[in-house]
Amino acid sequence: MTVSPVTGGGSVLITGAAGFIGFHLAQRLLALGDEVIGLDNLNSYYDVALKHERLRLLKTHTRFSFVQCDITDREGVQRIFEAHRPATVVNLAAQAGVRYSLENPAAYIQSNIVGFANILETCRKLEVEHLLYASSSSVYGGNTKVPFEETDPVDHPVSLYAATKRSNELMADTYAHLYGLPSTGLRFFTVYGPYGRPDMAYFAFATRYFAGKAIHVFNDGDAENDLSRDFTYVDDVIESIVRLMPILPRGPRPHEIFNIGGSTPAKLSVFVSTLEDALSASLGREVEFKKVYEGMKPGDVRATYANANRLESLIGYKPQTTLRVGLQAFTNWYVHYREVHGAESDPNEVTSG
């Protein structure tokens, strides 16, 4: 069995490896010398061509292997685990998106509840050393106390997506209690960056600009009560995960949860103007979005804001990339990607994740 440079154990299995965060994590682990098994169902929630492009880049590494499988396929998941015997599992596969959960709730129950149960049970059976899994800042719901801390009550989610993510935390905690399965929950705060998700606001706004369409801003144009988000650059997220991977939760209930956020929320209006500036710099011409202002949508929250003290105290690091630097990296990538691969479909924007 190949020893993992990061965990000191065997190989690392990443579910959702063709997704945004999964792709970046796999790239980082491969660069560090790890053996990585990628699992993904390649669904069509957004442009599958982008997922295939991520996979194409990952497959250039000899230490990467890919298996197409849906985590809702219990027997298929077990066969993959038995074949590869991963020491560490990072579960990033999930049905994403707050607003889409209003349209297709069944997809969230299947992927985020049934699928995660399959991951937990397979990790238990095969005695995986450490399970890390994606949660979300959405679990904080309409909490008004900021910044959000891991000890805050999270009993009133405002979307089904958030409810499924909170369910994941409770399920993992139960498996830690009953079976001693070491698991770490990762509450991501609006992750953005190159090769990102086309349904997220920063990506969707850029797409609509090139299509000559207006962007939809869900704050009624109210600068006084503007929405705000704790945008977190993807490289900071990956650094946090990599540092957490070798740290096993201890004790009779080996389960911990961490906020993965930069603790520097930005108002939506500032985010939009910063993205305009970044696109202007990437294109060498002035960019100004056409804007249509609308009210908040069901499932949206007014603000997200991470307290990352727990994360920093354990790993000596917390997300630190500024919004201006991160959005410039995204637009530089986006302009180049669009030139090479052409325009993508027009997605629905979201403002949180």
CA-based nearest residue to 18, from 40, 46, 45, 49: 40
Provide the pLDDT confidence category of residue 95 given band limits of 50, 70 and 90.
Answer: confident
Contact between 3 and 9 (Cβ < 8 Å): yes
What is the distance between the alpha carbons of residues 81 and 110, in angstroms, rounded to a whole number?
A: 20
Where do the CATH 3.90.25.10 domains begin and end in the chain?
Answer: 192-230+264-305+321-341
The whole-number average pLDDT for the span 333-350 is: 75
pLDDT of residue 351: 44
Q: Record the pTM.
A: 0.94
**Is the per-residue pLDDT at 33 higher than 60?**
yes
Instruction: For residue 195, indicate whether it is catalytic.
Output: no
The first and second tokens of residue 189, run together, are 């705060």
Q: What is the rounded CA–CA span in Å between residue 202 and residue 350? A: 9
Backbone angles phi, psi at 234, to 5 degrees: -60, -35
Residue 299: pLDDT band (50, 70, 90) is low
pLDDT digits (tens, 9 = 90+) for 147-169: 999 999 999 999 899 999 999 99
| 236 backbone dihedrals φ, ψ, rounded to 5° | -70, -40
- Which residue spans of the chain are classified as CATH 3.40.50.720? 12-190+232-260
Instruction: Compute the residue count for the chain.
Output: 353
Taking the domain 12-190+232-260, which CATH number applies?
3.40.50.720
> Which pairing describes strands 64-68 and 215-217: parallel, antiparallel, or unpaired?
unpaired
pLDDT exceeds cutoff 90 at 134: yes
pLDDT at 203 (0 to 100): 97
In the prediction, which pLDDT does 214 show?
96
**301 pLDDT tier (thresholds 50, 70, 90):** confident
Share of the chain above pLDDT 70, in %: 93
Query: pLDDT of 107-127, one tens digit each?
Result: 889 999 999 999 999 999 999
pLDDT for position 352:
45
Tell how strand 183-188 and strand 255-260 pair up.
Answer: parallel
CB contact set of 350 (below 8 Å; sequence gap of 6+):
97, 98, 99, 199, 200, 201, 204
Residue 94, pLDDT score: 87
Contact status, residue 195 vs residue 20, Cβ threshold 8 Å: yes
Span 165-191, mean pLDDT?
A: 97
- When pLDDT is cut at 50, 70 and 90, the band that residue 189 belongs to is very high
115-119, 260-264, 298-302 — most confident range: 115-119
Task: Return the pLDDT at 99.
Answer: 66
Q: What is the pLDDT confidence band of residue 217, given thresholds at 50, 70 and 90?
A: confident
Q: Which residue of the set 161, 209, 305, 334 is catalytic?
A: 161
Q: Mean per-residue pLDDT for 132-142?
A: 95
CATH topology of domain 192-230+264-305+321-341: UDP-galactose 4-epimerase; domain 1 (3.90.25)
More confident site: 212 or 94: 212
Please calculate the CA angle 37-10-83 and round it to the nearest 5 degrees. Answer: 50
Contact by Cβ (8 Å): 254, 212: no
For residue 62, pLDDT over 60 is answered with yes
